[in-house]
């Protein structure tokens, strides 16, 4: 008997104890939600996964991953529970949470947290975010740092801040799934609420773990105001966003502030496109060197830019429409005014005079020894020269050629 007890004791010593991803001894309440919102405003940023000095450096994201990661990291830092519906199980009662034991093989701390976020990235998508969140009202109490905007099966944004002018500061990650800088804009999401039946899209707060199995409509803060407003404005983006501004602004946006916001969104969006195109071209050249000529469905979705280019064009059009509505900012004097006006001029003399200025303001190196100004990019967009299909190289993607792009490779529908 003594020998058996000794064997059992030895077994206990060498058998690793099962442990959670992190311990959660605090419980979500209104106080913790406020601290979460304050943390997002102060700490959540576009470099959190790409800056080598960040404690979370090296985590790969694409779209929904970043939205889930924002909530996960705060819960991890503050010993709170994170839980989401488990989309891999048939029963809606199953959840994914930090209490799962399957990550024991990873050292405690960041390695185990990273493995958990990678798992979330593999099994949860933008379509799942609707199940784990609650649609909120369009007011300053609900539209706060830490909520997200969801377009199921398409995209998601994290709301970092809401400006005094009633405009959100958004952060979002996009395909391809990789470690990279995320995108930060002082701008509304590219989408507005449209699901007036099931209310699955729009601005949303995360559910607390004890709310996951309750009817969404019964939860605190639940509101369908954004859906009725969107329908009232015939799903017009500009009208809907102006309504949101009227509900949330505490001071008006000056003409200078609006032009600056629109111009810098154009600039940042071109940089983001350049990053994806560079990755896409490198990958395309890699598969060709391996004897494969075409990307498969998953690769095509990772590197195509249909949605991204539509969004970039929309930023240009918003600025162009604003200039038209203000008679080219008549009576206004500020440095960016002439840049904005010259951007849409077709006068070759204006182009030659302003190209160096545009290069200083915002330029995109797009191939060896060559760069494009935002004015040149607009001209190529306006002439439908940019190529969204990833089965080609940088020069085609940026519209160097006037002839239509053709390929024998299959074209897939982009899902992000």
Q: Which residue from 302, 297, 268, 298 is spatially nearest to 282, judged by alpha carbons?
A: 302
On whether both 238 and 327 belong to a single domain, the answer is no
Instruction: Read off the pLDDT band of 350 (50, 70, 90).
Output: low
Residue 367 lies in a domain: yes
How much is the pLDDT for 18? 65
On whether both 180 and 287 belong to a single domain, the answer is no
Tens digits of residue pLDDT in 92-115: 678 999 999 999 999 999 999 999
Beta-carbon contacts of residue 6 (< 8 Å; ≥ 6 apart): none
How much is the pLDDT for 358? 65
Asked if the model's pLDDT at residue 366 lies above 90, the reply is: no
Asked if the model's pLDDT at residue 16 lies above 80, the reply is: no
How much is the pLDDT for 143? 97
300 touches 412 (CB < 8 A)? yes
Residue 69 lies in a domain: yes
Residue 43 lies in a domain: yes
Instruction: Read off the pLDDT band of 387 (50, 70, 90).
Output: very high
263 touches 334 (CB < 8 A)? no
Instruction: Read off the pLDDT band of 353 (50, 70, 90).
Output: low
Residue 68 lies in a domain: yes
How much is the pLDDT for 5? 38
Of 110 and 6, the structure prediction assigns the larger pLDDT to 110
> What is the share, in percent, of the chain residues with pLDDT greater than 70?
91
Which of 218, 253, 288 delimits the end of a domain?
A: 253
Q: Which residue from 83, 103, 81 is spatially nearest to 28, judged by alpha carbons?
A: 81
How much is the pLDDT for 12? 39
- Answer left, alpha or beta for residue 369, where phi above 0 means left and psi between -120 and 50 means alpha: left
Average confidence (pLDDT) over 167-171: 95
The C-alpha atoms of residue 19 and residue 52 are separated, in whole angstroms, by 28
Q: Which SS3 state, helix, strand or coil, does residue 170 take?
A: strand
Residue 415 lies in a domain: no
Lowest mean pLDDT among 43-52, 189-198, 203-212: 189-198
On whether both 238 and 261 belong to a single domain, the answer is no
Q: Which SS3 state, helix, strand or coil, does residue 107 take?
A: coil
Give the Cβ contact number of residue 342 at 10 Å: 17
The C-alpha atoms of residue 152 and residue 320 are separated, in whole angstroms, by 30
Q: How is residue 252 annotated by DSSP? A: P
The C-alpha atoms of residue 266 and residue 233 are separated, in whole angstroms, by 26
On whether both 223 and 342 belong to a single domain, the answer is no
Sign of torsion over alpha carbons 232, 234, 235, 238 = negative
On whether both 244 and 295 belong to a single domain, the answer is no
* Residue 216 in tokens: 């969404």
On whether both 185 and 272 belong to a single domain, the answer is no
* Residue 22 in tokens: 């992190």
Residue 271 lies in a domain: yes
Instruction: Read off the pLDDT band of 53 (50, 70, 90).
Output: very high
Range of the domain at 58: 12-253
Residue 185 lies in a domain: yes
The C-alpha atoms of residue 381 and residue 376 are separated, in whole angstroms, by 9
- Domain total of the chain: 2
């Amino acid at each position: 008997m003594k020998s058996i007890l000794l064997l059992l004791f030895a077994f206990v010593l060498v058998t690793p104890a099962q442990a959670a991803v992190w311990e959660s001894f605090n419980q979500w309440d209104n106080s913790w939600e406020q601290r979460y919102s304050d943390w997002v405003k102060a700490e959540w940023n576009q470099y959190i996964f790409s800056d080598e000095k960040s404690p979370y450096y090296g985590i790969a994201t694409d779209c929904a991953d970043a939205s889930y990661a924002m909530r996960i990291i705060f819960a991890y830092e503050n010993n709170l529970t994170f839980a989401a519906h488990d989309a891999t199980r048939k029963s809606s009662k199953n959840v994914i949470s930090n209490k799962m034991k399957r990550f024991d093989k990873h050292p405690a701390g960041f390695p185990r947290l990273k493995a958990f976020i990678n798992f979330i990235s593999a099994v949860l998508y933008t379509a799942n975010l609707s199940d784990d969140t609650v649609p909120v009202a369009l007011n300053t109490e609900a539209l706060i740092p830490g909520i997200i905007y969801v377009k199921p099966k398409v995209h998601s944004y994290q709301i970092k801040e809401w400006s005094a002018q009633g405009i959100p500061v958004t952060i979002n990650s996009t395909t391809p799934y990789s470690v990279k800088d995320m995108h930060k804009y002082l701008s509304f999401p590219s989408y507005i609420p449209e699901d007036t039946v099931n209310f699955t899209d729009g601005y949303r707060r995360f559910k607390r773990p004890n709310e996951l199995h309750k009817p969404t409509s019964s939860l605190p803060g639940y509101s369908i105001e954004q859906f009725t407003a969107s329908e009232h404005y015939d799903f017009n983006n500009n009208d809907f966003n102006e309504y949101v501004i009227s509900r949330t602004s505490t001071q008006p946006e000056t003409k200078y502030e609006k032009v600056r916001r629109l111009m810098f969104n154009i600039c940042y969006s071109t940089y983001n496109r350049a990053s994806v195109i560079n990755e896409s071209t490198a990958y395309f050249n890699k598969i060709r060197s391996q004897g494969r000529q075409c990307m498969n469905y998953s690769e095509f979705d990772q590197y195509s830019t249909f949605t991204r280019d539509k969004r970039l064009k929309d930023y240009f059009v918003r600025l162009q429409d604003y200039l038209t509505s203000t008679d080219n900012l008549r009576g206004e004097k500020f440095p960016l005014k002439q840049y904005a006006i010259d951007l849409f001029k077709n006068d070759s003399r204006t182009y030659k005079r302003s190209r160096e200025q545009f290069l200083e303001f915002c330029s995109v190196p797009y191939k060896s020894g060559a760069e494009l100004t935002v004015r040149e990019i607009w001209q190529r967009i306006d002439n439908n020269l940019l190529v969204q299909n990833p089965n080609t190289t940088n020069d085609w993607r940026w519209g160097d050629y006037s002839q239509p792009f053709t390929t024998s490779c299959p074209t897939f529908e982009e899902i992000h």
